[in-house]
Each structure stands twice: as C-alpha cells, then as structure tokens.
C-alpha cells in the first residue's frame, strides 16, 4: 500500500492522470494488499493475546483489574507510608501546596482577572475574579464566581475543574469544563459569570474529549462524540458541526471532517482586535496538519508546510513557525524560524515572508504571545530565556527591547484586548516572580513573588555537559549543596523527559527543595534530545528510529555524574512521567546496574500496544507504528515491557499511575508491575483511583504522591 501512495498524491493534485486500465489494476492490487495486511495484523494480534498473559489488566474499570490495583496499593502503601521520611515530607509539601502565599496566576477577561484557586478550604477549588488595580495589592479582594466543592456536593459528582472558555468580546458567558475524577474527557456547560449560575437551557455537551469554539453568543463550533464514525483512532473529534442556540446538538449541521486515522479535526474562530477569522484544521499526525480558511462558504487551504505551526493572525499578518527548512518564493526560510506575511496578500498568492526570528545552534524559539499591539517572542539561549517584543506599524515590523530578567525561565501571558501583560520569572533557586508590563514601556514592575519555601542559600546551580554515545554534547543542570563532597556518596535524582519538543527549562519548586534538597539530595535535570531546548532539530534527532538517542543521552548524563563523583550507582535514582516514564523504563531495563531507584509515573511501557490504548494512536508521529514490522523490529529493542527479564537484577522500581488517566492508559504500569512481580522482581505500585494524567486531582493527592516518591527515593539512595 505504501508503495503506491506517491502516485495517488500526484493524481490528487492533478499532476498525473493514469490510463483507466492502469488505475484499475493499481486499485485491485492495493485492495488485495490491504486485505493481506489486515489479515496479518489480525493474526499478529491473536498471537499477542496468547503471549501476553496480563492483557486483562487493560480493563480499566473492570472489577478484577481494580481489585488487583487496590491489593498492590495496600501492600505498597503499608511500606511507603510508614517510612520515617514520609509524614514530615507529606506535611511540608501539603503546606506549600495549600499556602495562601502562592502566586494566584490569572487570565485577563476585559475588566476582570480570573483565577482558579485550591487550598485546604477549597479542595476542589474555586473560580474567582478581581480587578487589575486590586490584583496589584498584596492581599487583593476576590469575588467567588464558581465553587467547585459546593457544586460537586450539590450534584453528588466527583467534579474536577478543567478550565473555562469565554465568549469574546463580552466575556459574560463561558463554557465550563468539568471532569469526573480528573480524566481528559469532560462535560461542557454554559455558565453566566454575571449571575454566577449555569444558563438554563444553555449549551451543554455530555462527557467526551470535545473541542468547542465560540463564534458569537448564539453559535458554537463543536467537535465531540456524535456516535459511530465521529471520532478518530486517537479518540478525538473527527468532525465539526455548527451548533445554534435553541437547537438539538444532534441536528447541528456538519461543516468539516477529517479521516479516521487523523489525530483530530475541528473548526475554530480566531478573534482579534482587527476582526475574526474562521479556520478548519486536520491534525494528520502529532506534528503535521492541514489548515483551511473558511470564508463565505468556501474552504481555502493555507498553503504552508504540513509540519509548520500556524501561530495566528496579528494586525492582519499571518505568523508561521517552521519545523523544517522551507523554500518558497525563491527564498529558503530555516527550520525553527518565525516568519510573517500579510494574510490577504498570502491568499492572493504572495509568498514574500518577512523573518522575525532566526535560530542558531543553541538559540531556539520557545513561545509566541500576542497582545493587542505587541508580539512577545520568548527564546531560549542555552536553556535560559530571553524575551523580545515586536510591533507592526506602518507596514513594517519593529523590534522593541524589554527589561525581562535573564539567566532563568520566563513565560508571558496577556490578552488580545490589552497592551498590559505579565511576565513570570523563575529559576531552580529563585522563587517565581510575577512582573506587570505594558507594551509601550520597557520597564517591568514586580507585583507578586513566591516566598522562599526552603532556604536556598546553602545551594547552587551548575550547568554541565556530557558526551553522548555519538559524540553529541548534552547539557544538564545540577542543583546541589555548596559544600558538596565529591565522594560518590550523594543521593541524587536524575530527571528527564526527552520527547514531543518539550523543553525542561529551570523552574522553582518548593516541593523539590523541601522534599529532596533539604534532606541532603542532589537534583539533576537532563536536557536530552527529543526535547525542544535547541529547537526542532534537537527534537527530531530522537524521533522514531532515532529514539535510542534520547536514552543514550540520559545514560551519558548518569555516567557523567558518576565519573564526576557527584554520586554512584548505589546512590543514583531516576525519575520521569508520561513520555518521561517511558524514558526511565527504557533506561533501567537497558542499564539496571547504573541505578538504585526509579520513579516511573503515568508511563508508556508496552510499546507494541501503545497505539491501541486511549490516545496512543496520536503519538505515532513520535514513536512510529508498531504494526509496521520494520518499525516494530526497532521499537522492540527499547520497549520496557518487552525488555524486562527474569535473569537480570533491577532496582526496586516505584511505579504509579491513575485509574482516571484517559490519555496514557494505566494498563502500561499495571502490566509492567504484574510481569516484573511474576518474574520475582520486587516493585512498589500505587494507582490513584482518580487524578487523570497529572496523577492527582487536588493538593492532598499531589502531596501524597510526592511524599511517597521522595520517601522511597531517600530510603533507596541515602
């Protein structure tokens, strides 16, 4: 089938018109080949079910599987909760998480600033608001808009708040997203923020992984589970409909659709001060998509590379972020760059883009934030943030200097309605600090700052590099005591992620300080390939059949820590979650002698079935398709579930996951634990019955899981 795709692609674009007989023969051949492949996959699946005695643990809510999980919880918690360090660490972390001195981060909605807040008195949390003048005060007055604890009690539902989507430009209505137990699937309900009540006979979507976008007060673009054929293989919407107030959802006309193998498809309205724009998008893979502009009933394809990121419309300029080199209009624009062009001229055929940002080997684009009259471009220079600002005036782009802090991590947020914006600055030993800025003024004003949740004066941060197997230099940060003895005896956590172009920039964590550093630990973060620290190329270097590069980088950092005598295998532990759980799973099965502790959180582990479980199909752009025999021959070399053996000695791993995680299937962790136990390997296992992909739904659960992990690590490594 793959061999004839290029021919079909050319036909679709009118470049080749095969003779009818040739086309018919090709179609018959393709159908026969497709039938053979389908039969081969079916037979392989039958073999897997015979070979995998733990498939029953994939039954998420099945009584047998849940009884097994609860039994493992009881066994592990009996040990972990009785470790001497557990309770003091738990209490200190819970105090930090519930602290009223935390920065209440906000979203700007016209004259109001909204914040979602959880503490000891509001376990599920409250949505509240204030004004900018009030927010500047040390102790602002807040107005509660929605009390999720009270709502859950009144409706006898295990509600977890997942966000609100406001109506532009009045911001008097929003769609509130509520999850049962923290899952990604949510119930959407229309809410009036003036009356502080749900709208009677308003828009309501049943539980699903839905997508919604306000068009105006009486119309929504909706993607949800409409029944058979309406979802992709990844479990996300495949179709989009236009829903009018007062009509039944089932009667909403379909206006766009993708194909079943897409990650998702949908339609949304982009609201700007200069006007609104409707777009339809097919997310083909995690990294490729097709975008269409909807105008007067027409669907106009936005002719940019499929792997490019459409950043939006600013001052009627279209911004595009490139993931590969793009030659167009007689010019080549580099991978990792940010380019812009007048949108109307682009639609008319102009391809004369202007470059706003060009990357270099160690400088990459981190994020783009649009406010009313500025674009804020956050870059990473050797994993330290540098902020740039741009305006578009009189037909030209203009660069503006900012006084944002450096040598740490920043992120920006604001509103398309205002030139006021916020800059948050943080570092490993620098508590997060929030600055208020204005587009027309270079100077920023500090308005909020976290307290020091631990005494940072005894510690320092050092940046090192390790040489990976292929010679690539991999940076990593070490947070340690100033009086550290290089005697190989220091308990050390090595943390990593290495996937999906996620950058691990320095950030402050009171939990790490109180739970680890103050107990004599060393904390290390590895900026391995697969991440986004140095742009798309750094990410792409560990994609699919290069996945082993990420694992080699992580191992190289571990070996460098040992070589520097910061620690030793006896005192070295590793930690990662989600894709990072796959990372530590692959690494401990490859090099078990290098570590004495592993915290493997909400992980992917069975890489032969990951694409068949929940949202797994959406990640084939990252890992590849294991149903392809050639791809599976590679994936099986690192799939943790297929590389654990009875005759090897492993560290006593701590696995934890969540029953309500509907993104990464809890069956990964369950099956790995069952398999290791069946081979006689001791492990710890904890499954939070709620919590979603984050592993916890509220501060108490977060403190519990964190304390279990740190107590375990201290017991193993100290």
Share of the chain above pLDDT 70, in %: 92
Contacts with 70 (C-beta within 8 Å, 6 or more apart), sequence order:
none
Judge whether residue 7 has pLDDT over 50. no
What residues are labeled active site?
A: 578, 693
Specify whether 600 is located in the same domain as 473: yes
**584 part of a folded domain:** yes
Judge whether residue 27 has pLDDT over 80. no
Contact criterion met (CB below 8 Å) for 585 and 640: yes
In this structure, are strands 522-526 and 492-495 parallel, antiparallel, or unpaired? parallel
Distance separating alpha carbons of residues 363 and 536, to the nearest angstrom? 11
Contacts with 44 (C-beta within 8 Å, 6 or more apart), sequence order:
627
What pLDDT, on the 0 to 100 scale, is given for residue 38? 53
**708 part of a folded domain:** yes
Judge whether residue 647 has pLDDT over 50. yes
Calculate mean pLDDT across residues 446-471: 97
Specify whether 423 is located in the same domain as 512: no
Specify whether 551 is located in the same domain as 636: yes
Cα–Cα–Cα angle for 650, 652, 657, rounded to 5 degrees = 115
What pLDDT, on the 0 to 100 scale, is given for residue 456? 96
Q: Show the DSSP H helices in 52-113 as ranges.
A: 63-80, 86-97
Calculate mean pLDDT across residues 339-362: 97
Q: How does residue 259 score in pLDDT terms, banded at 50, 70 and 90?
A: very high
**712 part of a folded domain:** yes
Q: How many residues does the chain have?
A: 718
Q: How does residue 691 score in pLDDT terms, banded at 50, 70 and 90?
A: low
Judge whether residue 25 has pLDDT over 70. no
What pLDDT, on the 0 to 100 scale, is given for residue 403? 85
Judge whether residue 36 has pLDDT over 90. no
33-37, 341-345, 364-368, 515-519 — which is least confidently predicted?
33-37
Calculate mean pLDDT across residues 108-115: 96
Contact criterion met (CB below 8 Å) for 387 and 402: yes
Mean of the per-residue pLDDT values of the chain: 92
Contact criterion met (CB below 8 Å) for 648 and 676: no
What pLDDT, on the 0 to 100 scale, is given for residue 23? 34
Q: Mutual orientation of helices 63-80 and 667-678 as an angle, nearest 10°?
A: 70
Specify whether 654 is located in the same domain as 705: yes
What pLDDT, on the 0 to 100 scale, is given for residue 20? 32
**88 part of a folded domain:** no
Q: Which residue has the tokens 């620690």?
A: 567
Nearest to 429 by CA among 544, 512, 490, 531: 512
Specify whether 442 is located in the same domain as 498: no
**24 part of a folded domain:** no
Among 419, 450, 481, residue at a domain's last position: 450
Distance separating alpha carbons of residues 550 and 698, to the nearest angstrom? 32
Exposed, middle or buried: residue 355 (CB in 10 Å: 0-12, 13-18, 19+)?
middle
Specify whether 494 is located in the same domain as 514: yes
Q: Dihedral of CA 507/513/516/517: which sign? A: positive
Specify whether 427 is located in the same domain as 488: no
Q: Which residue has the tokens 């793959």?
A: 2
Distance separating alpha carbons of residues 532 and 497, to the nearest angstrom? 10
451-465, 486-500, 691-705 — which is least confidently predicted?
691-705
Among 385, 415, 450, residue at a domain's last position: 450
Look at the chain and report how many structural domains it folds into. 2
**546 part of a folded domain:** yes
Distance separating alpha carbons of residues 500 and 492, to the nearest angstrom? 26
Three-state secondary-structure class, residue 305 = coil
Exposed, middle or buried: residue 58 (CB in 10 Å: 0-12, 13-18, 19+)?
buried
Q: What is the pLDDT of residues 656-681, one digit of tens each?
A: 999 999 999 999 999 999 999 999 99
Specify whether 597 is located in the same domain as 711: yes
Give the domain extent around 534.
Answer: 460-717
**74 part of a folded domain:** no
Q: What is the pLDDT of residues 240-255, one digit of tens each?
A: 999 999 999 999 999 9
Distance separating alpha carbons of residues 249 and 204, to the nearest angstrom? 9
Question: Phi, psi at residue 179, to the nearest 5°?
Answer: -110, 145
What pLDDT, on the 0 to 100 scale, is given for residue 392? 97
How many whole angstroms from its chain centre is CA 504? 12
What pLDDT, on the 0 to 100 scale, is given for residue 406? 77
**What CATH number is attached to the domain comprising 526?**
3.40.50.1820
Share of the chain above pLDDT 90, in %: 90
Q: What is the pLDDT of residues 126-171, one digit of tens each?
A: 999 999 999 999 999 999 999 999 999 999 999 999 999 999 999 9
Q: What is the pLDDT of residues 395-438, one digit of tens each?
A: 999 999 888 887 789 999 999 999 999 999 999 999 999 999 99
Specify whether 564 is located in the same domain as 692: yes
Query: Which of the pair, 633 or 39, is modelled with greater confidence?
Result: 633
Contact criterion met (CB below 8 Å) for 621 and 288: yes
Specify whether 536 is located in the same domain as 432: no
Calculate mean pLDDT across residues 468-495: 98
Contacts with 74 (C-beta within 8 Å, 6 or more apart), sequence order:
none
Specify whether 426 is located in the same domain as 469: no
Judge whether residue 49 has pLDDT over 90. no
Distance separating alpha carbons of residues 197 and 150, to the nearest angstrom? 13
How many whole angstroms from its chain centre is CA 13? 35
Calculate mean pLDDT across residues 566-581: 98
User: How far are the Cα atoms of 121, 179, 220, 295 from residue 300, in angstroms, in the given order?
Assistant: 51, 36, 21, 8
What pLDDT, on the 0 to 100 scale, is given for residue 689? 83
Specify whether 498 is located in the same domain as 601: yes
**143 part of a folded domain:** no
Among 409, 426, 450, residue at a domain's last position: 450
DSSP for residue 250: G
Judge whether residue 37 has pLDDT over 60. no
Q: How does residue 69 score in pLDDT terms, banded at 50, 70 and 90?
A: very high
Q: Mutual orientation of helices 699-717 and 86-97 as an angle, nearest 10°?
A: 140
Judge whether residue 15 has pLDDT over 90. no
């Amino acid at each position: 089938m793959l061999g004839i795709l290029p021919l079909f692609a050319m036909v679709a674009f009118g470049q080749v018109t095969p003779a009818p007989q040739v086309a018919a023969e090709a179609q018959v051949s393709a159908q026969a080949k497709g039938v053979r492949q389908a039969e081969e996959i079916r037979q392989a699946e039958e073999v897997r079910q015979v070979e995998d005695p733990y498939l029953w643990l994939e039954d998420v809510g099945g009584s047998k599987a849940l009884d097994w999980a609860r039994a493992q919880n009881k066994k592990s918690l009996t040990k972990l909760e009785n470790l001497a360090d557990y309770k003091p660490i738990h209490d200190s972390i819970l105090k930090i998480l519930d602290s009223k001195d935390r920065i209440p981060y906000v979203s700007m909605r016209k004259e109001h600033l909204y914040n979602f807040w959880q503490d000891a008195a509001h376990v599920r949390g409250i949505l509240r608001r204030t004004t900018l003048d009030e927010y500047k005060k040390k102790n602002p007055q807040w107005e509660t808009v929605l009390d999720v604890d009270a709502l859950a009690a009144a409706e006898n539902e295990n509600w977890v708040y997942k966000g609100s989507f406001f109506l532009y430009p009045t911001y008097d209505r929003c769609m509130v997203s509520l999850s049962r137990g923290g899952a990604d699937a949510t119930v959407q309900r229309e809410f009036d923020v003036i009356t502080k009540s749900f709208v009677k006979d308003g828009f309501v979507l049943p539980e699903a992984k839905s997508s919604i976008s306000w068009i105006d007060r009486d119309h929504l673009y909706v993607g949800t589970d409409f029944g058979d054929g309406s979802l992709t293989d990844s479990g996300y919407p495949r179709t989009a409909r236009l829903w009018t107030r007062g009509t039944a959802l089932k009667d909403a006309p379909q206006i766009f659709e993708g194909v079943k193998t897409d990650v998702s498809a949908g339609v949304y309205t982009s609201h700007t001060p200069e006007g609104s724009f409707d777009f339809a998008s097919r997310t083909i893979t995690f990294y490729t998509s097709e975008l269409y502009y909807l105008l007067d009933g027409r669907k106009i394809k936005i002719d940019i590379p499929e792997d490019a990121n459409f950043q939006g419309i600013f001052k009627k300029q279209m911004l595009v972020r490139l993931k590969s080199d793009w030659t167009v209009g007689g010019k080549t624009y580099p991978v990792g760059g940010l380019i812009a062009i007048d949108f109307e001229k682009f639609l008319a055929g102009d391809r004369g883009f202007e470059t706003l940002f060009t990357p270099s080997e160690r400088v990459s684009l981190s994020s783009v934030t649009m406010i009313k009259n500025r674009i804020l471009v956050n870059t990473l220079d050797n994993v330290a943030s540098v902020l740039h600002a741009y305006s578009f005036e009189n037909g030209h782009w203009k660069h503006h200097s900012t006084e944002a802090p450096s040598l740490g991590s920043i992120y920006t947020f604001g509103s398309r309605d205002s030139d006021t914006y916020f800059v948050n600055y943080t570092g490993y030993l620098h508590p997060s600090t929030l600055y208020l800025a204005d587009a027309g003024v270079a100077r920023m004003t500090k308005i909020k700052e976290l307290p020091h949740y631990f005494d940072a004066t005894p510690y320092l941060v050092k940046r090192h590099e390790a040489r990976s197997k292929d010679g690539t230099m991999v940076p990593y940060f070490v947070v340690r005591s100033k009086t550290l003895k290089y005697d190989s005896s220091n308990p050390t956590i090595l943390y990593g992620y290495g996937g999906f172009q996620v950058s691990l920039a320095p950030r402050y964590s009171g939990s790490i300080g109180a739970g680890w550093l103050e107990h004599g630990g060393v904390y290390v973060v590895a900026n391995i390939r697969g991440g986004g620290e140095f742009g798309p190329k750094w990410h792409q270097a560990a994609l699919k059949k290069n996945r082993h590069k990420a694992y080699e980088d992580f191992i190289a950092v571990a070996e460098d820590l040992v070589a520097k005598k910061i620690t030793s295998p006896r005192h070295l532990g590793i930690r990662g979650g989600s894709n990072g759980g796959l990372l530590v799973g692959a690494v401990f099965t490859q090099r078990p002698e290098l570590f004495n502790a592993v915290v493997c959180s909400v992980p992917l582990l069975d890489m032969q079935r990951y694409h068949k479980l929940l949202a797994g199909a959406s990640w084939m752009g990252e890992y590849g398709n294991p149903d392809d025999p050639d791809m599976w021959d590679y994936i099986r070399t690192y799939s943790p579930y297929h590389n654990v053996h009875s005759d090897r000695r492993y560290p006593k791993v701590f696995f934890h996951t969540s029953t309500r995680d509907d993104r990464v299937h809890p069956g990964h962790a369950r099956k790995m634990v069952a398999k290791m136990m069946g081979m006689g390997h001791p492990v710890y296992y904890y499954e939070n019955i709620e919590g979603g992909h984050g592993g916890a739904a509220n501060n108490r659960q977060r403190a519990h899981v964190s304390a279990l992990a740190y107590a375990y690590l201290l017991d193993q490594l100290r």
